Structures are given as C-alpha cells and as structure tokens.
Amino acid sequence: MSTTEPITVNLGPQHPSTHGVFRMRVTFDGEEIIDVEPVFGYLHRGSEKLAEERTYTQVLTLTDRMDYVSSMLNNQAYMLAVEKLCNVEPSPRGVWLRMIAAELQRVASHLVATGFLIQDLGALGTPLIYAMRQREYILDLFEMLCGARITNSYLRPGGVFMDAPDEFWPALDKVLNDIPNALDELEELLSGNEIITSRTQGVSILLPETMVNASITGPMLRAGSVDWDLRHRNPYDFYDQINFQRPLHSSSDNFARFWVRIQEARESVKIIYQCLERIEPGCVRPSFHDVPRLIRPEPGDAYAAIEGSKGELGFYLVSDGSIAPYRCHVRAPSLINLTLLREMLVGTLFNDLFVSFGSIDLNMGEVDR
C-alpha cells in the first residue's frame, strides 16, 4: 500500500495568479490541500499613515491607489466620511453625478473580477478580453469626467470636482445600451460552458453563518443567500430614492460568486438610469465660502461606509482640529474577505486553488494599505 508524505509549497508573492503581491504557504497531501497559511505585507503602502501628513482633500489621491480597480467607489466612501466629520451638506447634482460614477465603477470592477476568474480557470484570454473591452468604454467616460482613467480623484467634499461635459451624456447613453448586451454575451459564453460549471459548482462552499461571523460582505455574502447591501440596509447619498434588486444565490460556491457579480452589474445599469431621471441642473459642489479648500473640522471622529464592489468599504477619521486627519483607518473588504481563505481551500484540490482565490475578488493595494 503506497502512502504520500505531505509537502508544503510556497506560492507567491510573485505568482501571476495571486492577483497582486500575495503569498500562500500551502500544504498538500498528494493533490489535496490540507492546510493554507496566507502571508500579507509585501505591498505595504502605508496609506493610513500617509493620510496624517496630507490635507483632507489631498488624502483622496491615496484612496484611488488602495483599490485601483474601484477608484470611484473608494473616493465615495472617503468623501462621505469627510462630509460627516465636517457637517458638509453636499450639492444634489454632485451627489447624483458621483452615484453615476460609482455604479459605472462597480460594473467595471465586476467585469475585471469575472474576466480574471475565467483566466484563472485556464482560458486563453478570450473572456478576459471581452470583459476588458467593455471596461475600456467605461474608462473613456471617466476620462471625460475628470481627465483620468484609473486613479480618478473625481470627488470633492460636498460633491465632485467638475460637472460632466456635454459630450459625456450621449456617450453614457451608448455605453448603458451596450452593457446589457455585453453581459448577456459574457454570461452565455461562460454559464453554459461545461468546463466552467464542473470546476466551479460545489467548490469552496462557505456556509452563510460562517461568513456572517467572519464579517464577510459584498458579493461573497450575497452568493450565500444573505440579503445584505448597505445601499439598501443603510442608504447613503440618494440611494434611498432608488429601487434595485439584490441578486442572491443559494450555492455559496465559486460559480455563485461569479453569477452574483454579473447580475449586480445589470442592476447597476438600472440604478444609473434612475439617477439620470432625477438629476437636475445646478452646482456640483458648495462654494469655497461654504467649504474652503483647507478644511479644519472640529475635533471629533466619524465613520462612513458604502457598499463597495468587494463589500463594505468604510473610512474612520479622527480630527484634532488641524487641516490633516489625526488618524485614518480603512475597513477594507479585500482584507476581511481573505480571512476565510483557509476554510475555502482546505479539502479542495490544487487545480481549484487559484480559482477559489480569484472568486474572492481582492486587491492587494487595499489589503496592505
């Protein structure tokens, strides 16, 4: 009778499928994973500490780089915390514009997550190119809004940096018409693929109560049939005026996490259409008299959270009355969602490892902030 001896393999921090500078020490018994030790800290940006040396507006550029696939959403979470700390009443038009930008960013982020998940399965680039092609059209819109495509820095206390140019609106309408067809094409290509379904369905199942106890949020949680979305449960900006569905799946496996993101992208398009119906002419942020360039909040603290593309994204700010935060801390969903990595992988096989890891949809800039 032959026996195998467990072997520990180091994966990363340079491995292309670790979605960034991430390291795993994985112990195998044959091809079965029997233990996983995640190792963080290879991409420590020090964003929270750097925020203490910058004005409240300058900190915005740091949020772009934490999750550079969801810059607009990071801008939104941070600015909500600043406005809460400073008691700033935002401009209605500015709020609608940043909601449009945030939902476009959610679609773009979910497209990246889906494309790279299929790449981790071994596809030779076609699904990823389909996803990235549609994302490029969204980045074109961001370029019209603020001149940048990735690190946008578009939001400001009380609204946004500048109004959308005239050419933005017809371009947005075209992109919104194209996104559902692109999602249909992508879902049809992937959901009916026997290889994809056999390698994702029933793999890396997480129980709903396990995720709740670990503070998992976002598409990972909703893939386990838990209806928790901060846009619905604790509305911010004008989400209390918007109607949308929260796609839920009961399987809580790799396939469910992929499926939920595709359906959420469809709902984001519906949200943007509702924003377009409600937005009215006006200023996009308060005057400098109401919100000066150098904000000096009264001593105190504030926490604001949004439903980011990866889950609850929150910023906690402490003010000592100066022009820079005394303390800044980020509730990063990428880090929280990684806490169940071991539970996801133990008992699966080597060829499931990077697929399950990719289904989390993380960004190491947000983990090692």
From the list 89, 64, 87, 94, the residue with the least C-alpha distance to 77 is 64
Reply yes or no on whether the pLDDT at 129 is more than 70.
yes
Taking only Cα atoms into account, the Rg of the chain, rounded to an integer number of angstroms, comes to: 21
Number of domains in the chain: 1
Q: In the prediction, which pLDDT does 1 show?
A: 46
User: Mean pLDDT throughout 128-153?
Assistant: 93
Residue type, 314: G
Rounded CA separation 197/202 (Å)? 9
The DSSP result for 280-334, as a single string, is -SS-SS--TTTS-SS--PPSEEEEEEEE-SSSEEEEEEEE-SSSS-SEEEEE-HH
Burial 115-135 (b: 16+ CB within 10 A, else e): bbbbbbbebeeebbebbbebb
Residue 1 domain-assigned?
Answer: no
Residue 66 domain-assigned?
Answer: yes
User: Mean pLDDT throughout 266-284?
Assistant: 96
Rounded CA separation 178/174 (Å)? 6
pTM of the model: 0.94
Q: In the prediction, which pLDDT does 319 show?
A: 96
Residue 74 domain-assigned?
Answer: yes
Look at 156 and 369; give whichever has higher pLDDT. 156
Rounded CA separation 217/123 (Å)? 28
Start-to-end CA distance of the chain, whole Å, equals 50
Q: In the prediction, which pLDDT does 2 show?
A: 52
Domain with residue 157: its CATH number is: 1.10.645.10
Residue 275 domain-assigned?
Answer: yes
| Cβ 97 vs Cβ 284: under 8 Å | yes
Rounded CA separation 68/369 (Å)? 12
- CB atoms near residue 238 (< 10 Å): 17
The domain containing residue 71 runs over which residues? 7-367
Q: Which two tokens stand for residue 137?
A: 């059209």
| Cβ 230 vs Cβ 307: under 8 Å | yes
What is the DSSP secondary structure assignment for residue 128, as one 8-state letter? H
Q: In the prediction, which pLDDT does 140 show?
A: 96
User: Mean pLDDT throughout 22-47?
Assistant: 90
Residue 2 domain-assigned?
Answer: no
pLDDT per position as a tens digit, 87-126: 999 999 999 999 999 999 999 999 999 988 888 888 777 8
| Three-state SS at 20 | coil
Residue 117 domain-assigned?
Answer: yes
pLDDT per position as a tens digit, 330-342: 999 999 999 999 9
